[in-house]
Structure 1
């Protein structure tokens, strides 16, 4: 027992230190500049872990005894007696292009973040629970526009920036009801803040050397969010034969109203930073509730004795239901996601190391909730990945996944984003709770 308590204390201590060290990263950074993150509550992070990323993000119906499933809480109950601790790190290189003012504008960007920290433990032979901390959304954009002022010879400059995001601390439970039926529920505390700033000025004195006399009108909007959201999950795993198993799963995130406090401030300054007028505070910590839309996901997969798996996931989210904390629509439309993927382990019972390496391949098609000139933005990507077993009995794994894709096209004012997303994950398994037997 003393050995168990020491192990628990060491793991929790290391986890808390990792959370403390990485919290500023989680709160402050995303995956690089994304103009689309200006809409709604920002860009959503993928709910899966690094393992799922390597096979198109599928994970609604499929799970493994060696990895933690964070997409369907019901499949936590598929885990064995092992306790698992997982860490994921993510980075992204991105190229942005847009046809603007008769020419092609380009920008390259890079961003990185902590993907998740998660711990899952067995409560008994039918019930598993997990704790996790991960970023939920991120806002990271900076744009500048110039527009002529009608009826004058002057031009106006507009700057828009946004930073922040929401984080998600979750407690999930998965229970095996019968031999093949699983149910689960996840309660998550969502918290964080998003700051959007904009300013404008008329370009009058730039050619006279007296630009510091120009007046800049600025607006700062800051919203703080904190509330509990829910997810329900279910799975069915009938045996088709001695070797083959069919997996069917579904999850449902109900529409939720999240508590928010919003502050809006206007101010006039010179370009040199001199305050021309005192701040005009329209709202300060004004209470409200933002509406997050419902989401449903379905998955089906075919599995052969932990050596081969192929699956398909489909997801729907009604972003047209989104409302800000003041009840305003977010100019979003409903989103659809279709993903397919596979993984192969050459021989799971082999004693040769190369037979235990797992290889993954995936493809994903998304209709994003963003509209540009009435056209819905699409995201298409492909992924590869592999897991290397480590440690005693080779039950621990280090996983690498790479996703490459594109969203948007160079039509009208659309922004084309071409990206390569890299992720590194660690899955550490150990048998904590075992009875000591005296022979």
Structure 2
């Protein structure tokens, strides 16, 4: 047991140093500037790990003895007597483009974040438990708009900025009900805050007055997820996998602060702030979500799977209990995983390769059109350590969402994930000859 403690400490230390070196402001930036993160509770992170990321985020019906499944709690029960600790790091390079007054404007940025920390261990031969910490959403946008003031020769300038996001601490349980049927439940504590601010001025002179509105919402509450899986064997070689998860519609507690203030362009206060709300109790509504998966696998050599998800984002309500202007979303993903010879003693035969695709119907509406996100992914895992039960995983995703039509913003991105999976036995009785 002492050995895995040492490995956890070393891996965590090295991982956090890597994150800090690649992005000094990582926790504040999320995955870079995203204008659409101004909507709802922000941009959602993928709920899969780096392993799933390399195969289109497919993971509702499939899992492995060497990696954690963070998408379907029922599949925790498929794990062996090994305890596993995982760290995931995610970085993204993005180019944002939009046609403004028949002129193409573009902006590029890069940011990274700690994707997750997760630990899973067996409670008994049928029951596995996991604990994890991960970011759930992020908000990061900075939008500037100029508009003529009707009936005057002046132009008004509007600035909109947002920062923050929600984090997620999860306690999950997976139980093997019968030989091939699994059930699971996940309880997560969501916490974090989102700050949105806007200011306006009529551009007349350098002594103009800014009118600023600041809204800060703090969230903290428990949300649930249910999972189930069935693994009927076709023969001695092939196995079918079916899985499903359900996130019920949930009301989460929040507190709000709303402040208006007049300042000079240099930021000096002209009048005392007008506080409309100060830590007022509020409640937001998160939507119902359902995901289904099916896959077929040949031992530990080949796996092919497909996932479908539905998100009822039209049910979302802000902390003021107002509609968030979002539409229902949908996800379709497919992926493949291949290990040449998992029982071989040659290293190259033990390397696992992955590929996948994903089509997302996003909840964002622009000029009556719903945005889509299409991406493809590649990944590989390199075995390490004694008996090659530990792995370093690298995944790469490239995609685009939105198109250069009307006021839509086109985002082209490349996302990279680096994951570490450490396996060891806990509570193993030592034998002395």
**Same-fold status (TM-score > 0.5):** yes
CA distance in 2, matches of 1:349, 1:310: 20
Residue 291 of structure 1 deviates from its aligned partner by 0.3
Where do residues 85-164 of structure 1 align in structure 2 (5 Å cutoff)? 85-164=85-164
Unaligned runs of 5+ in 1: 206-210
Residue 436 of structure 1 deviates from its aligned partner by 3.2
Residue in 2 aligned with 1:355?
349
Among 260, 264, 268, the alignment partner of 1:270 is: 264
Where do residues 190-339 of structure 1 align in structure 2 (5 Å cutoff)? 190-205=190-205, 211=206, 213-339=207-333
Among 401, 426, 429, the alignment partner of 1:432 is: 426
| Aligned-partner SS, 2:216 | strand
Instruction: Name whichever of 142-151 and 45-54 sits farther off.
Output: 142-151
Aligned residues: 429
CA distance in 1, matches of 2:242, 2:395: 25
1:204-232 residue CA offsets vs partner (Å, 9 max, x unmatched): 12xxxxx1x10110011000000000000
User: How has the CA–CA distance of structure 1 residues 15 and 230 changed in structure 2, closer, same or farther, with 3 Å as cutoff?
Assistant: farther
CA distance in 2, matches of 1:245, 1:361: 20
User: How has the CA–CA distance of structure 1 residues 85 and 331 changed in structure 2, closer, same or farther, with 3 Å as cutoff?
Assistant: same
Among 412, 418, 422, the alignment partner of 1:418 is: 412
Residue in 1 aligned with 2:383?
389
CA distance in 1, matches of 2:410, 2:29: 22
CA distance in 1, matches of 2:373, 2:346: 39
| Aligned-partner SS, 2:236 | coil
Residue in 2 aligned with 1:208?
none
CA distance in 2, matches of 1:25, 1:48: 24
The answer to whether structure 1 residue 80 and structure 2 residue 80 are counterparts is yes
Residue in 2 aligned with 1:67?
67
| Aligned-partner SS, 1:276 | coil
Unaligned runs of 5+ in 2: none
| Aligned-partner SS, 2:37 | helix
Task: Confirm or deny: 8 A CA contact 2:27 2:113 kept in the other structure.
Answer: no
The answer to whether structure 1 residue 46 and structure 2 residue 46 are counterparts is yes
Residue 28 of structure 1 deviates from its aligned partner by 2.3
TM-score normalized by structure 1? 0.95
Residue 13 of structure 1 deviates from its aligned partner by 5.8
CA distance in 1, matches of 2:14, 2:251: 31
| Aligned-partner SS, 2:114 | strand
Task: Confirm or deny: 8 A CA contact 1:384 1:402 kept in the other structure.
Answer: yes
Task: Confirm or deny: 8 A CA contact 2:15 2:89 kept in the other structure.
Answer: no
CA distance in 2, matches of 1:225, 1:44: 15
The answer to whether structure 1 residue 171 and structure 2 residue 171 are counterparts is yes
| Aligned-partner SS, 1:350 | coil
User: How has the CA–CA distance of structure 1 residues 403 and 19 changed in structure 2, closer, same or farther, with 3 Å as cutoff?
Assistant: closer
1:18-54 residue CA offsets vs partner (Å, 9 max, x unmatched): 8998899675230000000000000000000000000
Task: Confirm or deny: 8 A CA contact 1:61 1:300 kept in the other structure.
Answer: yes
User: How has the CA–CA distance of structure 1 residues 284 and 16 changed in structure 2, closer, same or farther, with 3 Å as cutoff?
Assistant: farther
Residue 151 of structure 1 deviates from its aligned partner by 1.5
Task: Confirm or deny: 8 A CA contact 1:26 1:135 kept in the other structure.
Answer: no
Residue in 2 aligned with 1:341?
335
| Aligned-partner SS, 1:277 | coil
User: How has the CA–CA distance of structure 1 residues 76 and 346 changed in structure 2, closer, same or farther, with 3 Å as cutoff?
Assistant: same
Task: Confirm or deny: 8 A CA contact 1:27 1:165 kept in the other structure.
Answer: no
CA distance in 2, matches of 1:116, 1:82: 20
Residue 274 of structure 1 deviates from its aligned partner by 2.3
Residue in 2 aligned with 1:402?
396
Task: Confirm or deny: 8 A CA contact 1:27 1:167 kept in the other structure.
Answer: no
1:329-350 residue CA offsets vs partner (Å, 9 max, x unmatched): 1110000000000010001111
User: How has the CA–CA distance of structure 1 residues 255 and 26 changed in structure 2, closer, same or farther, with 3 Å as cutoff?
Assistant: farther
Task: Confirm or deny: 8 A CA contact 1:296 1:315 kept in the other structure.
Answer: yes
Residue 123 of structure 1 deviates from its aligned partner by 0.8
